[in-house]
Structure formats: structure tokens, C-alpha cells
Structure 1
Amino acid sequence: MRNPILIALFCLTQSLISAQNPTPSKPRILISTDIGGTDPDDNQSMTHLLMYSDLFHFEGLVSSPSYGEGNKEEILRMIDLYEKDLPKLRKHNKNLEKPNYLRSITKQGRKGNAPYLGYTTATEGSDWIIKCAKKKSTQPLWILGWGGLEDVAQALHDAPEIQNKIKIYWIGGPNKKWSANSYAYIAENFPNLFFIEVNSSYYGFFSDNTELDSVNSSNYYDSVIKGAGHLGPDFKNYYNGEIKMGDSPSLFYMMDGNPENTERESWGGSFEKISYSPRMIYNQVTTLKDTVSFCSIIEIHLKGPKTAIASDSICFWMEVPYGKTVQKWPGYYLGNGDYAIRYIPKKAENLHYNFTSEIAEINGLKGSIVVTNLWPGKKHNADYPLGNNWYSDKSDPDLYDGKIQGGKTVLKWRKAILDDWAKRWKWLK
């Protein structure tokens, strides 16, 4: 006869293990993406998302291109490809999402970045975020940001009561650069959001570092994807099939354990709490004597004539060399002779810029600034204080992947992720 005391101890042990590593229900997710814009990695991530659609409860697919020509039609085109492959996929998994349902929740958000205020007028996308957030549910709405924050900022402005119903995992970095004004609005007005701000860790997924695994993302298309259904040939159109998928760590994070436990080891990274979002305010152009951390808000105010220009109107431009091109960032008139611009550098560098404008006092001004490689870095008086649920890339030097802060928290799982995906690609062959 079995010992009842041993049985009781075993059951108690299993209960404690389950309590420490709960298996959550299908997470409710809404994707905000700039797919179809200048960076085709969103198409790669959308392919991955659709092939794993059985793992999520979809609430929305919102086109939110703060920069470039992204649009919801590109989301719909990807769903069309998925529909063609669905008969083969469903032979192996009958729980994959229905294409018509995905089409019904695809919405167009704001095209272009927000003005200095951080918000403008409602869009189909921002209204949809509000509608989904207000649904009665025992689960939060997870917003996975692959692009700009404009529609999220607009939704929070129009319905601030949703802030306790949503949780955000946002791929910042370059997206943060384009969404400087909407990010600043959220950080200043909604510091108590549950917000995972991923400015660098995600780079670890497509790093060329083979220290932790032997994966060669350049060979993955030929060895795994080539010849697989309709999604396979389409994948070749993005970076010639080389794996980038810079937004996919948001999905990996939702697939691998309890997403509310941010400091756990997970496919999508591991994060630490931050208590402030760095902001430096300057009342003149900067010099190389000035230093900020990457992904910090640089806010430059300039004095000029008091004019009849409407407040929050674009009236000057910041030009920044980017490779062989020049990127241009809008500056705004705030009234009473105050002209201002926000800029967020995405990497460590000595940054140089100049201003162009029809306003003589601003046109031709030049500046520079030193950007360091640790986020959030030193505290400043103008920083935005954050609540208890704002998280970001781990700052431990041992977790850097080269210059990438927190990169190893994602890099270490790359082989496991791609091996798992390879099983699903086989379904299409």
C-alpha cells in the first residue's frame, strides 16, 4: 500500500512548482505594426505570427506607421498568403486562426508621427484599441508594438481609463526615434502603465554572434523555408530571406511562460525595472561637451520671433546624416517665440546635426552631442519619473551582446526558437 504521507508531499511539491511557473491562458494580443514601410522585418514577423496563430487570442492588427508608407493593405495581403497555406497547416494544427476573423480586426491607424503634443485626432486604429481594452475580460489586453506609439498615445488620451486594462511590450530603438513625441506624452502622463520598453535586447535575435549558438541566420531560408507553401517564397522578398524579425521577440515573450513575470528567462528577453525615463532639455544647440544615453529624449528649445504661426505647427527641420542619406526631423512652434524639437538617438555615437528653416534665427544652426551606450544612464532633473511597472533592457555588462545592452537575454534562445519554427515550416512542404 502507498504511503499517504509521501503522496501528500508529492502533491504539495507539484502545487508549489505550478504556482511558481503558471501556465497562462491564451494571451489577448493586439499588434501595432508599421508593416509595408521602410523596414521589411515586419513582414517576416507577420509570417511568424500567422503560423503560430493558435497560441494567441487576437484582438487587433493595427497599421501604425509613424514613418514610411505602411498600411493595413499590407497586413491583408499577408493574411491572403496565409489563407492559401492554411489547408496544409491545418492538417497538423486545427486551432490556427480563421483568415476572415483576422481581416475583420485589421484596422488603419495614424500615418506619420505625432506633433509636439504627442497626439492629434482619433483613428480607426486608436478607436479599436479603446474598444478592445474596454472588453470585459479576466485578462489584460497586451499591445505588442512593432512600430510607432501614435495610436497607443491617442487611445490613452481619448480614454485614459484604459491604462489599467492594457499591458505593453514595445520594440523601441529606431521606432522610439520616430515616435519621440508620442513616447514623451505617454511617459509624462501615464507613468504607471505596465510597459516593457525594449530598446536593444531584440537585436540579439539577429546578431552575428555565434558565441551562444551556431545558428547562421543567412542559411535558414535555404535550409528550412525554401519551397514551403506561399508564405515561404514571399519570405525571400525581405532581406533576401535572411532572418531579421526584429519585432518577433514580442511574440517570443508571449509564447514562453507568464508574460507578467518580466524578470524571468524567456525567449523574448528578460527585463529589469526602471524608475525614470531620461530627458535632457537644452536652450541652445548642443556641443560635444554634452552627453546623453542612447534612447534618451533630447529636447532642444530655441528662441525666435513671436509670430502668428499656429501652436504645434512644423516650422523647422533637424537634419541628421544617416549613411549616404540625410534624415529630417520636424521642429515645432510652441508659441511666445519658443521653438522646440525632440530627438531620440538609437545608438551610441558622436551625433552631428543642423537646422533648416525659413526663420532666419534658426536656419543654419549646427550642433553635436555625445551619445553613450548605457540605458537609462545618469539621472537628470528633467527626467520623466516612472511608476512600479515600467521595465527595460537589463544593464548587466555580462548580458551585453557586443554593444547591444541585454542582447544575450534573447540571443541565448535563438536556436530553440528557430528549431521550433522549422517544425511548422515542414508542414508546408
Structure 2
Amino acid sequence: MKLVVQLKLLPSPEQAAALEATLRACNRAANYVSRLAFETGVRDRNGLQKLVYADVKAAFGLSAQPAVRVVKKVVDAYGALAASLKAGRLGGPSSKRYRKAVGSPVGFRPEAAQPFDDRCLSWQTDARTVSIWTVDGRMRGIRYTGSPDQLKTLAGYRRGESDLVRRGGKWFLIATCDLPDPEVFEPVDWIGVDRGIVNLATTSDGTNYQGRGLNRYRRWQARKRAELQARQTRSANRRLARRTRREQRHATHLNHAISKEIVSVAQRTGRGIAVEQLDGICERVRLRRDQRGMFSSWPFHQLGQHLAYKARRAGVPFLEVDPAYTSQRCPRCGHTGRANRPDRDRFACRWCGLAGPADHVAGVNVRDRARSAWVFVTAPVPAPA
């Protein structure tokens, strides 16, 4: 499985200046290549490289391999744009976002991340230093740090290129690691996980991870953002960006903590993890105006991603099941109806009288569907006649 490891660089002032100059030169070159790709329509790597390779080296002071990385970075950006347009993430051809995306070249910020392969960047894991190409020459002995688990993963499984990133005045290297997939065990049962807004996650065991604190924190952040937006100054815009990143980190930390605990329980008890398949929920659900902001910032997708990759890394079976009527179906008698859900928090079956917290009942239904689905997942494929 692919895993990214983020290490913090500890450069000296001279090294930091060289890294900054390198990022800016690479992104100026990327903007030049992007503009030519847009004007000529050449988007394949070999064709674009033949077109711009000599100019990029001569005009921007890049060596051979960094110039090749810049071209690949531009090709990947146009590939990602084409995939987004095809998937409809930018709306239809008549939408403003779509027209803006296709009507101008892909742009790169002056300090956007830059990929480096093993010819441009080498790791000395024993000394915890890196050697990296810069426009001021090869910089050696740049120290880095990280958690013990990150350092162990980096030393044993790093593969491919690494990205140089500057964020908030600090330098990072994001390395790709290729870990072997552990063998998935046969589960004795399943933990059903119901995701929501008021309760971020509720398991079939009855464990409830409330989202009240996160929602209160986000409402407070929204008020602060409104105050800063009213000022309309450059300083206010910088503070807005910092607040946005802080809020994202806060939600990500909560999702990591929740998913880590659920996977740990599943691994310890020999059970698998099942969640509802919520792809396309934004298109299926219609909301009141006052609910749209909360729903659009609901981190359920990220929680599902964290559960999936943590389960895979631990060898825990993971399934996504059909979400239809999980909050309206009685897990005891099977009766399904909207009247079984008198309000958001309570479930009361109109047929057999089973009652309880609605999210817990939904988690039990998810667990039951995983039990049935796993039989078909593990069933042997019949041999052709």
C-alpha cells in the first residue's frame, strides 16, 4: 500500500534561502511550460519535453533532471484538470468555474510544491540528513526530523520521488513509501460504523463519537472569518488563510483519533469494519439554506478514508455497504418505515416496539449488512463449464 510520510526539514538560513530560490525558479519555469502547453495544445510528456526542454534549462537556470521534473509536473497538472472536468467536479461546460478552468493556462504559485526524484535528492537515513539539488548548487547535510514511526517507515519503505514543500515559513519533504500489504484475517464479526453530523461516528457496539465540540468550534471559526472578511485588507486575508488551515488540521486530528480507536478495537477483537457507502451523497440530499454550510464542511469522507487505510495497514477487513434505509430499518424484525424515526435522535419500531438511539440502530444495520455481504465477497468463483 502507498503511504506518504511528511518530514520537517531543519535548514540553516543559507540552505533555506537556496531552497526558496529553487522553488521559485521551478515554478516560474512551470508557468512558462504551462503557457506553451495551453497555446500549442501539446499535453503529452514526450512532446512537451521536446518543445521546451532547452528553453527551460537556459532561461531558468535548471539542470537536466529538474527541468524534466518541471515538465512532468505540468503534464500531471493538466491530467488532473482533465480528470476533474470529466468527473464534473467543476460543473458543466456552461458554468463559470468550467469556463475559467479551460480558458486559461494552469498556474503555479511561486512557492508551490516541487517533486524531486533520486537523481535530485538523496536521503541519508542514518544521519537524518538529505542532499538536494538547488539553483545555488547541491546542498548537503540538510537535517530533517519526524516521529519514530515516520522515520522507521521512511528508512524501510521509501520509493519514488519526494515533494519539497514550504508551508507557514517551515520546510517539509513529503516522501512516498510503498508498504507491503499485511494479510487480511478472517473476521469473527463486524463493527458497523454510522457516520453523521451531530455524532461524527457511532459504532454497533454503542460507542458514540460526538461532533458537538467540532461543530461549536466551526461556528466560532465562521464568526471570526466573517469579521475578517468584512475588513477587506491584505492582513485580514492572510489571517483568513491561517484560520482555514488551522480548522482543517483540527478536523483531521479528530478523524485520525476516531479512526485509530475504531481500528484498534477491531484488530484486538478480531472483527472487521463496515461503513455506509456515501459516494454522491451531496447530489442525493437536498438541504435547507441554513444547513448547507455545515453539510459541505462535514468531514465524513475523510473519516472513511482514514478508516480504510488504517484498516488496510493493520490487516483488518473493511467493507462499504449499501446505505439505503439504515436509519429507518428495524434490525430485529426488519420493518422499514419513515415513522420508525420520530426524530433525529430516537428510533422506535412501529411493528415490534424496538427502541433506542437512532445512530446506534443504524450502526447495527450496517453491521448486519456487512455479515451478509462478506459471504459473497469470500465465496469461491465457480469454474467455467
| TM-score calculated relative to the size of structure 1 | 0.22
Higher gyration radius (CA): 2
Greater share of helix: 2
| TM-score calculated relative to the size of structure 2 | 0.24
